[in-house]
Amino acid sequence: MPVLLPIYPPMVDIPQHAAQISAIKSILVEGDWPFSHMFVLKPFTPYWLGYGLVLLISLVTEVVWAIKLAVAAAVFLFVWSAARFCTRMGTDPAWNWMLLILPFGFAYQWGFLNFLVAAPFGFLFLCRLLDMNGRSDWRACMRIALWLHFLFFAHVLTTAFFCAIGMLLMANPWRGFREWFRRCLPIFTILPLAGLWLWVSLNNSPEASGPTEWSVGAHRLTSLLPSLVSSPPSSSWSGQLIGLFVLIVPFLSGATPKRSWLAWSPFALYVAWMLFFPNWLGGTAFVYQRFGIFGLPLYLICFEGRRGAPLLSHAATLRVGLMTMALAVLSWQSLRAISFNSEVTQYREVIAYAEPGKRMLMLAFDPVSKTAAGAQMVHFGSWYQAEHGGLTEFNFARNWVQPLQYRDGADSAIRQGFEWFPGTFDWDAHHGSLYDYFLVRHPADASQWLDEESKGAVREVARRGEWQLYGRK
């Protein structure tokens, strides 16, 4: 319901992903995109599972519903796969209620489509690895290798994370280094493909070898509990309380911590990842934050039930409490999604005045939504490209991991970072004459400013609330 109720999903990057998919569809299926000469399709990228899924759904429905159906399926599958993994590891089935609150965390709010689609397959990969149970026959190894290569083309960082978790799971029980190495051999089959992709990327995309920003500090400690329960930063106090509650749930259930340090190693790796993994890596922002949704299942598997079952009344009370918490969080997410529609309605009224198939520049002076956490409006103009077949900039085709990228020498001066500083727009430097429309989101009237920048070359087309549309005279 939180995914399907809003007109557009309240997710920051989703409009850009929808625009990419719409353009790829126009090039591969329809062959009529007027801007195709500016772009090149690079198939060797680990982003095809999410894009391919939406592309297939969009063959029978519009791209907005294709996106929503794909995200809803990913959310549903994540809860099921995480519960399946926890059950496989022997956790209390009542704890699975807590998993319902996880999918709507940082990665969801920022609209990391491919990460969300890949996340559930990470837990399914771990289940398959556990089912192998140390077998070394070639059929079992081949199945693990196929799973890993499938996961690689979903999301490379997700693959790396779950490979590391899988290697730790294979170490328990410990029977010596040689036995552990033998168990991990199927995981190593992904190294040739990953190495080739990394080599190609570093040699052909300068952004891939860009600076790394660590941003390590005390703030990571304070955000650890909210991240564990997918609580948004704007309500960190409630995130701290809910996070503390889920930490003590195993103890309330009568479970006891496992004594082996190897049993705790997957959760320890998660904590280290959240505390020390880079914030900015290879031109990609918010890297470590998105992995918060994986922590709770890895924590729950550190416990085993006690020999004597807890009192029936105690168990029933705890189950009701977990159900109430999960449904309350889901209800809040649904209400937030519904309230987001009021801001979206104004955008739809304005964009209806724009002709399809044109070129548009988005200037989000006020990118923050009043009803959703995050800068939901910074890329919102990309819905025009997704729905009306034009080209909206700034465009994710500037990112080196995208399947569709600008050709060298493409006539565009809008670079990565411009979307956060629209006030730097310069008519001559940014080739303002290339654009048919300028979509502005600003609480004040931008007519005079844009008229001065363009030297009188644009006129107001429509305005509703903060949304303003300008076109060339």
Share of the chain above pLDDT 70, in %: 96
| Both tokens assigned to 228 | 């564990």
Q: If pLDDT is split at 50, 70 and 90, which confidence band does 206 have?
A: confident
**pLDDT tens profile 75-86:** 999 999 999 999
pLDDT value of residue 170: 94
pLDDT value of residue 352: 97
Q: What is the mean pLDDT of residues 365-385?
A: 90
**pLDDT tens profile 31-50:** 889 999 999 999 999 889 99
Q: What is the mean pLDDT of residues 57-64?
A: 96
Q: Is the dihedral of CA 172, 173, 178, 183 positive or negative?
A: negative
What's the chain's average pLDDT? 92
pLDDT value of residue 30: 86
pLDDT over 70 at 236, yes or no: no
pLDDT value of residue 13: 96
DSSP state of 28: I
Q: Which residues contact 334 (CB under 8 A, 6 or more apart)?
A: 1, 2, 5
Least confident of 40-44, 111-115, 311-315, 403-407: 311-315
- CA–CA dist 316, 19 (Å, integer): 48
pLDDT value of residue 204: 84
pLDDT value of residue 238: 83
Q: If pLDDT is split at 50, 70 and 90, which confidence band does 317 have?
A: confident
Residue 32's region, left for phi above 0, alpha for psi from -120 to 50, else beta, is alpha
- CA–CA dist 293, 126 (Å, integer): 16
**pLDDT tens profile 250-300:** 998 889 999 999 999 999 999 999 999 999 998 888 999 999 999 999 999
DSSP state of 471: E
Residue 407's region, left for phi above 0, alpha for psi from -120 to 50, else beta, is beta
Share of the chain above pLDDT 90, in %: 80
**Residue whose entry in the numeric block shows the structure tokens 């430097």:** 429
Select the more confidently predicted residue: 1 or 359: 359
Q: What is the pTM of this model?
A: 0.94
| Both tokens assigned to 225 | 């509990």
Q: How many DSSP H helices and E strands does the chain contain?
A: 17, 11
Q: What is the mean pLDDT of residues 203-213?
A: 84
Q: What is the mean pLDDT of residues 324-349?
A: 91
- CA–CA dist 124, 77 (Å, integer): 10
DSSP state of 213: B
pLDDT value of residue 405: 94
| Contact by Cβ (8 Å): 19, 396 | yes
pLDDT over 60 at 360, yes or no: yes
Q: What is the mean pLDDT of residues 90-94?
A: 92
Q: If pLDDT is split at 50, 70 and 90, which confidence band does 425 have?
A: very high
pLDDT over 70 at 110, yes or no: yes
CA dihedral 355, 39, 374, 161 (to 10 degrees): 150
Instruction: Name the amino acid, one letter, at 209.
Output: S
pLDDT value of residue 31: 83
Least confident of 102-111, 129-138, 162-171, 316-325: 129-138
Least confident of 183-187, 245-249, 367-371: 367-371
User: Which three-class secondary structure state does DSSP give residue 399?
Assistant: coil
Least confident of 44-48, 96-100, 156-160: 44-48
- CA–CA dist 275, 298 (Å, integer): 16
- CA–CA dist 123, 82 (Å, integer): 6
pLDDT value of residue 407: 93
Q: If pLDDT is split at 50, 70 and 90, which confidence band does 210 have?
A: confident
Alpha carbon distances (Å) from 304 to 86, 93, 244, 253, 364: 11, 12, 19, 10, 51
pLDDT value of residue 94: 92
Q: In degrees rounded to 5, what are phi and psi of residue 84?
A: -65, -40
| Contact by Cβ (8 Å): 267, 299 | yes
pLDDT value of residue 233: 58
Q: Is the dihedral of CA 208, 286, 392, 401 positive or negative?
A: positive
Q: If pLDDT is split at 50, 70 and 90, which confidence band does 316 have?
A: confident
Select the more confidently predicted residue: 307 or 216: 216
- CA–CA dist 13, 110 (Å, integer): 6
- CA–CA dist 262, 267 (Å, integer): 10
| Contact by Cβ (8 Å): 63, 50 | no
